[in-house]
Amino acid sequence: MRVWLLDTGSIVIEHTQLMWNVPGPRVRIPSYGVLIEHDDGLILFDTGFDLEHTEAVLPFEEPEQTPRQTIPAQLEASGFTTEDVGTLVNSHLHFDHVGGNKHLRSSKIVVHERELRQARDHHPFEFFGYSDKSWDYEGARFEPISGDVELAPGLTLYETPGHTIGHYSLLVQGSGASRPMLFAADVVYTPAAYDKGIQAGFHVDPVAGVSSIRRVKELAQQHEADVYFSHDMASWETYKHAPDFYEV
């Protein structure tokens, strides 16, 4: 399998959002999607944020996204078009993970059934997280799932709730010599938070969130996988970015 990390720009958040109840300076964090070329088809895990929406609704997060950092442009840089993506998986439906969904109208959309319900009828405190509704366009082909699910051989979604009610993390295991890749998504944002077991400041269930951090650690150990962090700039700068890719 080939795996591309699609750069969709960056936003700024409070340190207490980066690590729950831990003070510090505001920090710029990356946003990206994961594109997987599999024998069963082209699969995309998350689509980053939409610049226009974020500037309008969350301007305090100071979004930065160039034309080259949109999902169509990142797919093109990797040698594909939006029509090539057969399956889109959303780890969850927060604005910074669904902003490019609207460009993938020929894809089926895999999402946790509880997440789908919650995003459409969320608690008031979840407004900013679920503020971008562009993913719920007319004709969208949702495939609601629950539990741990094997998407395709070597691709497994693991339930990791807490940040949201229906959050998924993705394990990518190939037949080559490269180590498996475990995309924790928003279970935990940074290596420091991972080591200390501290979840992000935004969450719906902190107890479940701590359990999901433990689960990610157990999965990483069990499968001898490298954990990829969703919102850590220092880690992001060490990853390969499209058009470069990983062979798994």
* Section 85-111 average pLDDT: 98
Question: In the beta sheet, which residues pair with residue 144?
Answer: 111
The pLDDT value given to residue 129: 97
- Summarised one tens digit per residue, pLDDT across range 73-85 is 999 999 999 999 9
The per-type count for the chain, helices as H runs and strands as E runs, is 8, 12
Q: What is the pLDDT of residues 18-54, one digit of tens each?
A: 999 999 999 999 999 999 999 999 999 999 999 999 9
pLDDT at 175: 80
Cα–Cα distance between 106 and 80 in angstroms, integer? 14
In CATH terms, the fold of domain 2-247 is Metallo-beta-lactamase; Chain A (3.60.15)
**pLDDT at position 199, please?**
96
Active site includes 132?
no
Task: Answer whether residue 235 shows pLDDT above 80.
Answer: yes
DSSP string, 160-204: --SSSTT-EEEEE--SSSSPPEEE-GGG-SSHHHHHHT---S--S
Q: How many CB atoms lie within 10 A of CB 101?
A: 26
Q: For residue range 174-225, list pLDDT tens digits in order.
A: 886 689 999 999 999 999 999 999 999 999 999 999 999 999 999 999 999 9
Question: Of 7, 46, 96, 132, which one is the catalytic site residue?
Answer: 96
Residue 83 has φ and ψ, to the nearest 5°, of -70, -15
Alpha-carbon span 5 to 60, nearest angstrom: 26
Residues near 238 by Cβ (< 8 Å), separated by ≥ 6? none
